């Protein structure tokens, strides 16, 4: 009896093993089939995304690169936007009219106008530096301009809270200032430029006042180029020379421009706001 029971147990175990083996093979086939379907779906999705990206790249141009004027044509501030080298007429400030301005946060489409104010103001600021007569315009059109159109377009589109713009009713950028706050709470003036057409009109003063009010009563740091009028402008707002001179930035040095830098600081509570 015990021998028969043992045989029955062996038979049952074999049957159970066969059942489990068939189930395992079936499950493995299902998993493999599911994997193949998933891989095919992923390939199809990649192909669809690639086609869509190609269509977008072929047909669309970011609004931040070429903002449109009220007539539907590219604004004057966007001349040369996106090109590897800007045309010589880009440096002609008379292409932009002059009018009253209001100061407010940068808009997503302000990038090219900010870049234009940056380039034209730099041309005025750097024109008396050693090497400027031979190399400045080439640097502005072939390096700084194209680079800053991209940089400022990205920053303006990002909604950077410390970027302030002075603009006319037709959205011509008359000047801008970009400030930020360090981890220790101190402020930094990263850039402050005014389009030459608005020099002497108070636009720069209004921008600085707005930025200092936004930063609050804190120490504020910046740096600027030695031999330009910027140092005097900063001093009018309570900044003073702080630290030793620094060498010419590499990109200016590569452009054969001699532009050593000086650090400036405005102490919290300083006059001149």
Concatenating the DSSP letter of every residue in 37-54 gives HHHHHHHHHHHHHHHHHH
- On the question of pLDDT at 37 being above 90, the answer is no
Best CA proximity match to 77, nearest among 97, 50, 62: 97
Residue 39 pLDDT class (50, 70, 90 cuts): very low
Best CA proximity match to 262, nearest among 248, 249, 237, 245: 245
- On the question of pLDDT at 154 being above 80, the answer is yes
Tell me the pLDDT tens digit for each residue of 220-252.
Answer: 999 999 989 999 999 999 999 998 889 999 999
7 or 49, which is more confident: 7
| CA separation for the pair 92, 76 (Å, rounded) | 11
| CA separation for the pair 207, 223 (Å, rounded) | 17
- Give the pLDDT confidence score for residue 6 in this predicted structure: 53
- On the question of pLDDT at 21 being above 70, the answer is no
- Give the pLDDT confidence score for residue 193 in this predicted structure: 98
| CA separation for the pair 187, 178 (Å, rounded) | 11
162 or 27, which is more confident: 162
Read off the pLDDT of each residue in 86-103 and give the average, rounded to a whole number.
Answer: 95
- Cβ neighbors of 90 (< 8 A, separation 6 or more) are 79, 80, 116, 119, 141, 145
- On the question of pLDDT at 132 being above 50, the answer is yes
- Give the pLDDT confidence score for residue 270 in this predicted structure: 87
Q: Which residues pair with 165 in a beta bridge?
A: 104, 176
Longest pairwise C-alpha distance within the chain: 116
- On the question of pLDDT at 52 being above 80, the answer is no
Read off the pLDDT of each residue in 131-151 and give the average, rounded to a whole number.
Answer: 96
- On the question of pLDDT at 38 being above 80, the answer is no
Tell me the pLDDT tens digit for each residue of 160-210.
Answer: 999 999 999 999 999 999 999 999 999 999 999 999 999 999 999 999 999
């Amino acid at each position: 009896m015990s021998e028969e029971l043992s045989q029955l147990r062996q038979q049952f175990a074999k049957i159970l093993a066969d059942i489990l083996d068939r189930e395992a093979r079936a499950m493995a086939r299902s998993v493999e089939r599911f994997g193949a379907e998933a891989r095919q779906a992923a390939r199809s999705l990649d192909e669809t995304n690639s086609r869509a990206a190609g269509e977008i790249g072929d047909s669309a141009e970011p609004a931040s690169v070429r903002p449109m004027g009220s007539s539907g044509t590219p604004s004057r501030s966007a001349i040369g936007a996106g090109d590897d080298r800007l045309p010589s007429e880009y440096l002609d400030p008379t292409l932009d009219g002059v009018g009253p301005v209001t100061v407010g946060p940068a808009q997503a489409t302000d990038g090219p106008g900010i870049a234009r104010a940056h380039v034209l103001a730099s041309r005025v600021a750097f024109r008396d530096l050693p090497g400027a007569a031979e190399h400045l315009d080439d640097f502005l059109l072939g390096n700084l301009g194209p680079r800053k159109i991209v940089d400022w377009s990205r920053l303006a589109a990002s909604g950077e809270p410390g970027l302030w713009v002075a603009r006319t009713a037709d959205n011509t950028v008359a000047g801008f200032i970009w400030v930020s706050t360090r981890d220790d709470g101190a402020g930094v003036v990263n850039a402050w430029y005014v389009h030459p057409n608005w020099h002497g009109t108070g636009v720069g003063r209004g921008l600085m006042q707005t930025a200092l009010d936004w930063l609050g009563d804190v120490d504020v740091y910046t740096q600027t180029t030695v031999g330009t009028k910027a140092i005097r402008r900063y001093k009018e707002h309570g900044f003073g020379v702080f630290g030793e001179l620094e060498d010419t930035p590499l990109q200016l040095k590569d452009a054969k421009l001699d532009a050593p830098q000086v650090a400036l600081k405005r102490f919290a509570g300083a006059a001149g706001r």
